[in-house]
Structure 1
Amino acid sequence: MKKHLLLAASGLALCASAANAEMNFNRIASFATPGNMAEGEDHARPTSAEIIGASEDGMTLVYSDSPLGVIGLIDITDPKNPVAKGNIDMGGEPTSVTVIGNTAFVSVNTSESYVKPSGKLVSVNLADGSITGTCDLGGQPDSTAHSDAGDLVVIAIENERDEDLGDGRVGQMPAGFMVTVGVNDEALVCDSLKNIDVTGLAEIAPEDPEPEFVDINSLGEIAVTMQENNHIVIINADGEVIGDFSAGSVDLTNIDTKDERAALTFDQSQPGRLREPDGLQWLDDTHLMIANEGDMDGGSRSVTVFHKDGTMVFESGADFEHPIIQAGHYPDKRSDAKGVEPEGMEVATFGDTTYAFILGERASTVSVYDVTDAANPVFKQLLPSGIAPEGAIAIPERNLFATANEADLIEDGGVRAHVMLYELQDAPAQYPTLTSEGMDELTGWGAISGMVADEDGMIYAVNDSFYGYQPTIFKIDPTSKPAKIVDAIRVTRANGDAAQKLDMEGITLDGKGGFWVASEGRTDRVTPHAIYNVNAKGEIKKEIGLPAELLNVETRFGFEGITKVGDTLWMPVQREWKDDAKHSVKLVAYNLETEEWGAVSYPLATPDTGWVGLSDLAAHGDYFYVIERDNQIGANAKIKKIYRIPASEMVPAPLGSELPVVSKEEVRDLIPDLKSFGGYVVDKVEGLAITKDGEIFVSTDNDGVDDSSGETFFWSIGKM
């Protein structure tokens, strides 16, 4: 019978006591959009959460779900336990939603084609889900906003271009325009609908404006970005254009512009980069902020504040990316495009502080700025979001904030689309849990795998083959809050070149100031199964390949950790090799003195879905400790655990012989820990380190922010 071993301290206390803490936003819950599908529906269909709003009382969230053609409702009476309220069919593709009182106003795309665009504005009673009104918009709608008085809805009619036509460039007819519709006691007044011409204003394709994102200030003035046109237009409450100006360009330095995928290098530049803004919000009645995502030619990876007369008063430049890079969320695959892609935005006042929330679409982050002084935004914190945040809504009366995250990876066996909730708390910031902030050079990182603790309590971690051109050993100070990367040791060959063709999945100390590193082989990538001796400078001094007895039975899944006990190195194999019994794996031993190989057999749990394997190994006292996990994510995740094996049973038998089967005892179920971070349960728990005094640290692998939220969790589960 298994038993859970008690630990001396709870490990999620990586942050200091909340006493005297400043206010911070922390994630408190998440909601997977398939939860709103009715019983009997095909839950394997892709869903999404794109633009999001909230009822006047702040108890109901409503989001647009384009793939399903619905809006979804969530009851957040208890925000830490969101409850599904179901979907409402919109008869087309909902593109945006805004809420007045208890009525949602949804813009819906019903276009037959790019050259025959059409759409409608639909009003929905959130209390009973009934459709209370519909207005024909005469074009394909995008963003929607409403006046503070609740008497007007404004819609950006984008009439978007066909990116496969004419090299994907504007102009392409028909042109976009703006629409306003009156609202009386939450009822649409379609007879009041007004079209507003915004042609002839932009320098780029003036004949073909493509309005993108819209917002209204307390004076009733409408501001709209025209992304492909790189332009901003100001319209008064009567529907007259009263101002317009170019969004301009930025000279970017200290950025990564190379789609290497395998290295993070922030030493490039892009002069004269067009902003091409997407998101826009009024900060007050005079200033507006834009998020410069880019689309056709530009994307300055930045946020900018303009006076409404067109005077620029603040430009973040590449600084916007820096906290994202330091938190391990930089999406290297997007380096040659638009980097982190700031896109959606929300601005709201909580108490005496006005915050701007800027969504990093490709980084899956929320950058929080204090914009109380609109001309001098101050970065406050970085929040983790689901994959590809698209929309956001603040509910300051309840100290809440929510994001809608559009990516649904069901077709790739990944995580579903999510809505995530955050609360402004008198507490330390829970995230990030690991950062490179404070290093002399801007240092990106990700794909953290195996770990080991040294005698001084510092922890060393390796990245895996995702950064194959930049294999690195990271030195981490776990006593900092959050834990801090204080050094990045690049692993090199004897000639000084980066040690490519490594897949570092484990690290341990060699007892001489250096390390032993385990590399997981991939024959389909010409990556050998091997172990390497690396000195303190990162230079490979010795390589030990696997013997024929192992190579003859190997598969693509190799060593996923390494630890050293006496003269013996121990390496867990992640999954079964050809000669293993089903649901069993080898713990391979190599004696450094005798150069003899051996192994024991470890029994894995039997999964309901997918596979189960090992991720790291550490020795301490009378036991060896392993991470055993399934490859499932979100609600499907069932096995993320630490087990211990008596050291007395770790007696290797010769390879090729019948291997002794070791026993295991559960130490910790990590799923409650992972859930405590407020998001979905990530799949790759991959790092395990135990300090001299017995404190256990665990970390997760963020897959280099590739089809991943980029979240890395590094935490302590306390002392044994």
Structure 2
Amino acid sequence: MKNPISRHPARVFAASLIMSAVLVACGGNDDPILAVPEASISNASMFFNRTATFAVCQQTGASCETDVATSPEIVAASEDGMTLVYSNSLKGEIGFVDITDVKAPKALGTLAMGGEPTSVTVLDANALVAVNTSADFVNPSGKLVVVDIASRKLIAEITLPGQPDSIAHSKDGKYLAIVIENERDEAVNKGALPQLPAGNLVIVDVAGAPATWKTRTVSLTGLEGMLYPTDPEPEYVDINDDNIAVVTLQENNHIALVDLASGKITRHFSAGSVTLDKVDLTDAPRPNQVNLTQTQADRLREPDGVTWISKTRFVTANEGDLNGGSRGFTTFNLDGSVAFEAGNSLEHLMARIGHTNDKRSDAKGNEPENADFARFAGTDYLFVASERSSVLAVYDMSTPDKPTYKQVLPASLSPEGLLAIPSRNLLVSASELDDRSILARGSLNIYQYQSAPAAYPTLQSVDRVDGTPIAWSALSGLAAASTGTVVYGVDDSFFRGNRIFEIDTASKPALVKNEIRITDPDNKIAALAATLPDVKDPLTFDDTDLAALVNADGSVNLDPEGISLASAGGFWVASEGAGSVNDSTARPVLSANLIFKLSATGVIEDIIQLPADVNAKQVRFGFEGVAESNGKLVVAFQRAWVGDTQPRIGVYDLVAKTWQFMFYPLDPVASPNGGWVGLSDITALGNNKFLVIERDNQGGPDARIKRLYRIDLTGKADGATLSKTLVRDLMADLRGPAGPVLEKIEGSALLANGDVIIVNDNDGVDDNSGEVQMLNLGKLLN
């Protein structure tokens, strides 16, 4: 981590920790929360839940209609916990946010720093900002900027001897510790160390007015056991109650303890290594597949963020960099011995909740970025942020050497900063990635410790026989069983060896309790290929195209977007084709839109094709949903094909084996970011009526159209344009979880009791936070 978090943003007085039985407006004046004395609180009934997401582009306009990247990396809070201060290195400024009402944060403006702010903390009434002013990598420089929070004005600057990164202050307010990283140029020799000048640790003696504060420099070079003794490149610092600073030297896989009063290194030691078992270490061949069967021996921890959990123990988040990254976290004693090692547990958690970033499997997995520790209502908690899986894992630390998993919280894409504010029962994460083109906006997520069930995850899996979780992600279509509360989902083309998932929606969270691999033991795909022309052209699909759909083990690589239960048993799966006939250079046609009849065990029994004249119109936005009703299959095309002005609703007669096509009238684009509007899933309602998802391809502040419509095919002739009836605008439902509005609402199902279930596709956590919201909307239909 190049811009690690800053702990202890405010002094937390004992009076604010021992709460009395009064109403405190933690949730805004209109939604008070009953606080009770610590002794009467049962932490079993208390959980953290997200209350708001503040996209920092709102500093330039409430609707965020800007492409300019603006990135919150590190976050701190005023002494009263009412104002957040975050560093924004991309824009060379710090920002201020009013969180008096934790459900409705308000922009308070920004302040230029005259350089790149890398970290921020708060002491008394001031924000203390570490600012990088380096001309280049070999001429590093920096400064400490002191800002009055109330007036948001700069009151002092202190020169630093290099490029600063992490900053922390002691609880007694006597010292600041600032890591001078002097980071390497990753373009030089592939980022290999050493690259001088060397970094160090700066101690600031806080006495008198800020302009009079004095600095001392602690050398970190030449420590025995370092991998690169001339180039420590320190990463992160935290300070315990005895004013001992712990400093991680990530690339060196080393840890140093510094007494701030004397400026002496009291101990230093290797961070050591871990042998990881039952993890996924490959991200090839593509498409991806999460395969928790591999072992990695002696993987260097290479810790990034670190937090004290007592005077004698600290926890490191083992993100890794040059040579390692152990995918978890570790509790160390002062002598360097290990009190607890998380091992593969974080990797398994990500697979269980659908957040595995499989494209990072060959590198550092979920990449734990940082950690924080605080006491909430008498219970100690550890928070670990995963950069690549975009979640915060929460652990009960009542037994310090045996962290107990409590819950997991969704974060915006790539969380960097992490901040506990126990005086207000709040936790804040800062997610730095801001790229409007991939619908990611740099954001502050706010969570509240409250007497309420955990709201996330909404879906998780059970373990297989070997003890590893069923790894799932990229859910697309849904279909409900004819009785009960089970739905079936499919994963899309992000993964090879496609599967159907059996999901129990009565559980909270819903439970993936079985996986059914789609297979082709009877060579149905090869038989189809044999009927097609041998000459490849953009209007046909030959045996080369279709052979690529089958793996050596008989599993298949389709693009399942829709699923329906078959009346004769088993399933129908609609697979979206790849490529466009009018874009043969950039996106050549590689596969057709096909409907597969599967047995209850996933075996392909039949394949249905579109008519040749319709295939000749293919664009890459094809089959998105399928539903069987009254002896017919009805499929929804996502967007209009060549020569059409609206997307098709295809109707296939299972007896006559003939096709009809109607056209669906889409709503016009409404997002300020443009984009398109199309269809997703389709669900049979009976009597020739169907529920369809209509959505735009926008998320977060740019999302506008996420709707459920009802269509009626009764008496509709081939070529007819359908009418539609709005059943529900989903925007309020998608804002309900208090995160960014999710883009790809791709699955819908109607339970036997009349409840409607929807789910989003998280794109396999590729340029996506991985958040999955499976929502029960209740009974929407008369």
Which band: TM-score by shorter chain? over 0.9
Partner of 1:472: 499
SS of alignment partner, residue 562 of structure 1:
strand
Q: Give the counterpart of 2:560 among 484, 489, 504.
A: 504
Q: Distance in 1 between matches of 2:352 and 2:195?
A: 41
Q: Give the counterpart of 1:618 among 683, 690, 694.
A: 683
Q: Distance in 1 between matches of 2:104 and 2:208?
A: 32
Q: Distance in 2 between matches of 1:123 and 1:307?
A: 34
Partner of 2:336: 310
Partner of 2:775: 715
Shift of 1:602: 1.2
Q: Distance in 2 between matches of 1:408 and 1:20?
A: 35
Q: Distance in 1 between matches of 2:571 and 2:63?
A: 54
Q: Distance in 1 between matches of 2:57 and 2:372?
A: 25
Of the structure 1 ranges 497-506 and 112-121, higher mean CA displacement relative to structure 2 is found in: 497-506
Residues 1:407 and 2:433 are matched in the alignment: yes
Partner of 2:460: 435
Matched length = 692
Residues 1:569 and 2:633 are matched in the alignment: yes
Partner of 1:301: 327
Q: Which residues in structure 2 correspond to 1:73-222 (within 5 Å)?
A: 73-184=96-207, 187=210, 189-190=212-213, 192-201=214-223, 202-222=225-245
Q: Which residues in structure 2 correspond to 1:363-402 (within 5 Å)?
A: 363-402=389-428
Contact 1:703 1:710 in 2 (8 A): yes
Superimposed CA distance per residue, residues 76-108 of structure 1 (whole angstroms, 9 cap, x where no aligned partner)? 010110000111101111110011122111101
SS of alignment partner, residue 34 of structure 1:
helix
Partner of 1:332: 358
Contact 1:156 1:179 in 2 (8 A): yes
Q: Give the counterpart of 1:629 among 685, 695, 702.
A: 695
SS of alignment partner, residue 50 of structure 2:
strand
Partner of 1:248: 272
Q: Distance in 2 between matches of 1:429 and 1:398?
A: 18
Partner of 2:247: 224
* Letter matched to residue 278 of structure 2: N
Share of identical aligned residues, percent?
Answer: 45
Q: Distance in 2 between matches of 1:500 and 1:304?
A: 40
Contact 2:64 2:701 in 1 (8 A): no
SS of alignment partner, residue 184 of structure 1:
coil
Superimposed CA distance per residue, residues 421-478 of structure 1 (whole angstroms, 9 cap, x where no aligned partner)? 00001000000000013444422111100010012331000111011x1211000000
Which sections of structure 2, spanning at least 5 residues, go unmatched?
A: 1-40, 523-551, 580-587
Residues 1:579 and 2:643 are matched in the alignment: yes
Superimposed CA distance per residue, residues 361-406 of structure 1 (whole angstroms, 9 cap, x where no aligned partner)? 0000101111232211111111000000000111101100000000
Q: Distance in 1 between matches of 2:148 and 2:353?
A: 41
Residues 1:360 and 2:386 are matched in the alignment: yes
Q: Distance in 2 between matches of 1:203 and 1:194?
A: 23
* Letter matched to residue 57 of structure 1: D
Contact 1:182 1:188 in 2 (8 A): no
Taking a change above 3 Å as real, the CA distance of residues 707 and 413 of structure 1, as seen in their structure-2 partners, is closer
Contact 1:100 1:186 in 2 (8 A): no
Residues 1:606 and 2:630 are matched in the alignment: no
Q: Distance in 1 between matches of 2:109 and 2:315?
A: 34
Q: Which residues in structure 2 correspond to 1:256-275 (within 5 Å)?
A: 256-260=280-284, 262-275=288-301
Which sections of structure 1, spanning at least 5 residues, go unmatched?
A: 1-17, 654-658
Partner of 1:64: 87
Contact 1:353 1:370 in 2 (8 A): yes
Superimposed CA distance per residue, residues 617-665 of structure 1 (whole angstroms, 9 cap, x where no aligned partner)? 001134210000011111111110101113525x351xxxxx1122211
Contact 1:37 1:87 in 2 (8 A): no
Taking a change above 3 Å as real, the CA distance of residues 21 and 356 of structure 1, as seen in their structure-2 partners, is closer
Taking a change above 3 Å as real, the CA distance of residues 646 and 42 of structure 1, as seen in their structure-2 partners, is closer
Residues 1:645 and 2:711 are matched in the alignment: yes
Contact 2:46 2:453 in 1 (8 A): yes
Q: Distance in 2 between matches of 1:713 and 1:160?
A: 39
Q: Give the counterpart of 1:27 among 50, 59, 65.
A: 50
Partner of 2:10: none
Contact 2:575 2:623 in 1 (8 A): yes
Residues 1:455 and 2:478 are matched in the alignment: no
Partner of 1:674: 734
Contact 1:62 1:73 in 2 (8 A): yes
Shift of 1:41: 11
* Letter matched to residue 422 of structure 2: P
Of the structure 1 ranges 204-213 and 39-48, higher mean CA displacement relative to structure 2 is found in: 39-48
Q: Give the counterpart of 2:441 among 383, 406, 416.
A: 416
Taking a change above 3 Å as real, the CA distance of residues 326 and 116 of structure 1, as seen in their structure-2 partners, is same
Q: Give the counterpart of 2:570 among 514, 519, 522.
A: 514
SS of alignment partner, residue 359 of structure 2:
helix
Of the structure 1 ranges 129-138 and 476-485, higher mean CA displacement relative to structure 2 is found in: 129-138
Q: Distance in 2 between matches of 1:209 and 1:42?
A: 42
SS of alignment partner, residue 67 of structure 1:
helix
Shift of 1:21: 6.5
Q: Distance in 1 between matches of 2:182 and 2:751?
A: 59
Q: Distance in 1 between matches of 2:655 and 2:440?
A: 46
* Letter matched to residue 477 of structure 2: G
Superimposed CA distance per residue, residues 570-591 of structure 1 (whole angstroms, 9 cap, x where no aligned partner)? 000000112322xx22110111
Q: Distance in 2 between matches of 1:51 and 1:184?
A: 25
Q: Distance in 2 between matches of 1:242 and 1:180?
A: 15
Taking a change above 3 Å as real, the CA distance of residues 188 and 42 of structure 1, as seen in their structure-2 partners, is farther
Shift of 1:308: 1.0
Q: Distance in 1 between matches of 2:195 and 2:489?
A: 51
Partner of 1:9: none
SS of alignment partner, residue 757 of structure 2:
strand
Contact 2:75 2:121 in 1 (8 A): yes
Q: Distance in 2 between matches of 1:532 and 1:515?
A: 8
Shift of 1:43: 3.1
Taking a change above 3 Å as real, the CA distance of residues 339 and 35 of structure 1, as seen in their structure-2 partners, is same
Q: Distance in 2 between matches of 1:20 and 1:207?
A: 47
Partner of 2:753: 693
Q: Distance in 2 between matches of 1:504 and 1:63?
A: 42
Please give the root-mean-square deviation of Cα atoms over the aligned residues, in Å: 1.8
Taking a change above 3 Å as real, the CA distance of residues 540 and 369 of structure 1, as seen in their structure-2 partners, is same
Partner of 1:8: none
SS of alignment partner, residue 714 of structure 2:
helix
**What is the TM-score normalised by the length of structure 2?**
0.86
Q: Give the counterpart of 1:538 among 574, 587, 602.
A: 602
Structure number with the bigger relative contact order (C-alpha 8 A, sep ≥ 6) is 1
Superimposed CA distance per residue, residues 205-257 of structure 1 (whole angstroms, 9 cap, x where no aligned partner)? 11111110100001111001000010000011221110111000000011101
Taking a change above 3 Å as real, the CA distance of residues 527 and 184 of structure 1, as seen in their structure-2 partners, is farther
SS of alignment partner, residue 466 of structure 1:
coil
SS of alignment partner, residue 708 of structure 2:
strand
Partner of 2:528: none
Q: Distance in 2 between matches of 1:106 and 1:97?
A: 4
Of the structure 1 ranges 413-422 and 178-187, higher mean CA displacement relative to structure 2 is found in: 178-187
Q: Distance in 1 between matches of 2:65 and 2:498?
A: 43
